[in-house]
Amino acid sequence: MKKLLSIVCATALVCGCATRPQEGPGSGSGADYVPMVAPSAVESSVYDQDVAKCRANAKNVPFNASQHDDALVVVDGGVIGIGILQGWSTLAGGVVIGGLVGFNHWVYTPERRAWKTKQETVMANCMAQKGYINTDPSVRVTWVPPSLRAAESIRPTGRDTYNAEQLAKAQRCNATPLATLVEKGPGFERHTVACTNGQVMAVRCEFGQCRVSQMTALRS
C-alpha cells in the first residue's frame, strides 16, 4: 500500500515534463512519437517508409509492470465488496468500476512514461542506424556507429561524460559527440569533445553541471 501512495510524487514529476508540439516533428510520445531529424536529401517517400519501420520496432517494445497488482486487487475487491454490502445501484456500481479502471491505469503512470521513453529511444536509434541525425534534445540516442565503438571503448570517461556529451550536442558541436575525460578532482571533471567543424570543445563539469570553457582549433 505504501508503494501506491508513493505514486503521487512520481506522477507529479511526470506532469512536470516539458510539453511537446501538438503536431509535426517532435510531437507525440512512445511509438507515436514523430522523429525530429536534421534535413537530408532522402526522398519523402523513402523517409516515410523508414519512419514506419522504426515505429513498428518501437511498438514491439513490451510494457512490463506488475509490482502493484496485488495491492490493486485488494483495493478493487474492497471497494466492490463495500458496494455490494451498501446495495449500490447498477448506475452507481458502473461509475465506481469505471473509476477503479482509471485508478488502476493511473497507478502505473511512471512505469508507462518510462516505457514510452524507451520506445522513443528505440525509434531514434533505428533512425540513426538509417543515417538520420536526431535533433530533438528530449530523445536520447544510444546507438553508436561501429566506426566509433572502438574509440569509445578505450577513451577515458568519467561520472559526467554523458552530461558533457549532451552539452556538446546542444551546442551543435557534433551530432554524435564523444567526450574524453582529461582531468578530474573533488567535485569537478574536465572533458574535451572533437567538433565536426575542426575545433575542440573543452567542457568543465562541477557536480553534474557542465559548461563550455573553451573552443580551440583541432590539431592535426
Say whether 213 sits in a helix, a strand or coil.
strand
Fill in the amino acid letter for 69: D
**What integer pLDDT is reported at residue 108 of this predicted model?**
62
Please say whether the beta carbons of 161 and 181 come within 8 A.
yes
Fill in the amino acid letter for 115: W
pLDDT > 70: percent of the chain: 65
Is the pLDDT higher at 176 or at 91?
176
Q: Sign of dihedral through CA atoms 125, 202, 184, 137?
A: negative
Average pLDDT, the chain: 78
Q: Considering the domain 144-220, what is its CATH architecture?
A: Roll (3.10)
Is the pLDDT higher at 109 or at 53?
53
Enclosing H/E stretch for 2: helix 2-15
Confidence of residue 5 (pLDDT cuts 50, 70, 90): very low
Distance CA 184, CA 179 (A): 13
Please say whether the beta carbons of 122 and 116 come within 8 A.
no
Helices (H), 69-172: 69-86, 90-107, 109-129, 146-154, 161-170
Grid cell listed for 94: 458502473
> 214 pairs with which residues across the strands?
202
Confidence of residue 18 (pLDDT cuts 50, 70, 90): low
Confidence of residue 32 (pLDDT cuts 50, 70, 90): very high
Least confident segment among 73-82, 133-142, 187-196: 73-82
**What integer pLDDT is reported at residue 110 of this predicted model?**
76
Least confident segment among 5-19, 41-55, 63-77, 125-139: 5-19
| Every domain of the chain and the residues it spans | 69-107, 144-220
Cβ atoms < 10 Å from Cβ of 55: 22
The stretch 162-175 carries a mean pLDDT of 91
